Amino acid sequence: MGWETSEKSWVLMMSGVVGVVISVGLLYKLVIGRSDERSVKEKDEFVIPRGRWGWPLIGETLEFIASAYTSKPVTFMDTRKSLYGNVFKTHILGKAIIVSTDPDVNKFILQNHGNVFIPCYPKTITELLGKSSILQMNGSLHKKMHALIGGYLKSPQFKARITQDIENVVRLSLSSWTNKKHYIYLQDETKKITFEILVRVLLSISPGEEMNLLKIEFEEFIKGLICLPIKLPGTRLYKSLKAKERLLKMVKRVIEERQIALKKIQEKGFPDDVIDVLLRDIGGSDEMQPLDFISGNIIEMMIPGEETVPTAMTLAVKFLTDNPVALAHLVEENMELKKRKDHSNEEYSWTDYMSLPFTQNVINETLRLANIINAVWRKALKDVKIKGYLIPKGWCVLASLSSVHMDEMNYENPYEFDPWRWKQTGAGVSTNIFTPFGGGQRLCPGLELSRLEISIFLHHLVTTYRWGAEKDDIIYFPTVRMKRKLPITIMPL
C-alpha cells in the first residue's frame, strides 16, 4: 500500500517546467548561479561532493529526464558516480542538490528524519496535498499517525478480515475477464482492483455509484501532481484543486456520518477502517480540526491504489511472461497451495500467501527491478557530515534507491529478472541495499498489505488463467508504467 509512495520521485514529474524556465536562464546565471558558487567555495574545507551545475537554471535536468526514457533509467546516476564517486552534486529542476547512491548514506538520510532532514517536494505536491498532509508531517504528530495506522494494518483482526476482502475483489474481477472478447489491459484492471481494496480499507465504501464517483474525482485530482505550478482557471493544477474540493466534500460526509455513529456506540469494538482509527485517537485533539485533517489525509492515502501496488502487479506479470521458467515455478508453487486448500476445505489465511517462498521472491525481484519508488527527497536542516562528505544546510538531497538496486556491486546481473537471487537472503529481507518501501521513521506502514495484495492477485491469476502478452515496454517517466498498459489475451484453465 504505502501512501509514502509519494516519495517515489514526484519531482521527476515536473519536467514540463523546463520550457518555461529556459527563458530566464540568463537571469539565473547573473544572480542565483554566482551566489550558489560563492556559498560552495566558502565551504570547500568541508568537502562538498564533487559534480557540476550544468546549464543556467535548468542545470542537468534534461540529461536527468532523458535517462528515465531508456531501458536503464539510472544511467544519469551511474555516469556521474563513475566521475565523482557515490555521492555527487548536481543542479536539477532549479535546485542545487546532492545525490547519494551510497547505501550507508541513504540509510543515514532515511533514519534521521525530522531533526536532521525534512521532506522536500515541488510546489504542485504541497499545493494539492496541503500543509497537514502525511507527506510533509514531522515530529510527534507524524510518529503518532504512523503508529496508529501501522498498528491497525498489522493487527490480527485486520489481517484476517482483509485477506477475505482482497480474495473476494480479486476473484470477482478475474471472473469478469472471461466475458471480454478482446485484449485485457492489465494495468487498467489492476488499478480497478487495488483502488477498490484501498477505499474499503480507508472508508468502508463498497462498489457502486459512490465508489465510481470517488474514483472519477480522484483520477482528476491526481493528474495535478504531474503539471506546471500554475493555478489559473483552465490549467491542470486548477482543475485538480477543484476536483480535490469535490473529493473533500464526499469524504467529509462519510466522516461526519461515522462521527455520529461512534457517539451512539457505548462499547467500541475493533475499528471498521482507517477513518475509525483516526476518529478514535485524533478526533478529540485540540491541535487541529479533525474533519479537515482526516479527510485530507484519507485522500492522500488513496494514491497507492492508483500507482504503486497496481504497477507492481502489472510488472510482475510482465517479468514472468518474459521468463517462462520463473512463471512455471510460480505456477507449481501456487497450484500446490490451491490443491491443499481444496482438499481441506479451509479458507486461505494471510500466512498462507506470505509463506509462499518463491512467490515472495518474485515480488522482491519485481520491486527491485521496477524501482517504483526510485528515490527519496529531503532537505537538510543543518550541515551534515557523513563518510567524508558535507551536505550543506538548506540543500536538497536525493537518496537514490534505484541506483543501489541496480548496482553490480550489490546484485549480480542487476538488469536480469532473477527471483532465485533471493533464495538465500529470504523474502523478508531488510537491508541497506533493498529499500523498495523506503526506510527509517517513514517506512511505508502498508508494506505487508501491499505484499498480500500482490500475492493474492498472482495466486488467483496463475491458478485461473494462462495468458499471452503483447510486446510492451516499461516507461520510467514521469512514473513507472507500461507504455501500452500491457495488453494480454487470457485462456481459462
8-state DSSP, 16 = G
444 is in an annotated binding site: yes
Question: Parallel, antiparallel, or unpaired for β 117-119 and 375-380?
Answer: antiparallel
**Cis previous bond, 478, omega within 30:** yes
> Cell match 489475451: residue?
489
User: What is the C-alpha to C-alpha distance for residues 395 and 127, in angstroms, rounded to an integer?
Assistant: 21
Residue 179 burial (C-beta neighbours within 10 Å; 0-12, 13-18, 19+): exposed
Task: Spell out the alpha helix ranges (H) of 177-225.
Answer: 186-203, 209-222
Report the Cα–Cα distance between both ends of the chain, in Å, rounded.
30
* Helices and strands in the chain: count of H runs, count of E runs: 21, 12
Residue 199 burial (C-beta neighbours within 10 Å; 0-12, 13-18, 19+): buried
Number of Cβ within a 10 Å radius of residue 328: 12
8-state DSSP, 440 = G
> Cell match 477543484: residue?
242
Strands (E), 235-383: 375-380
* Cα–Cα–Cα angle for 317, 226, 195, rounded to 5 degrees: 45
CB contact burial 289-326 (16+ within 10 A = b; e otherwise): ebbebbbbbbbbbbbbbbbbbbbbbbbbbbbbbebeeb
Residues of each annotated binding site for heme: 444
Residues of each annotated binding site: 444
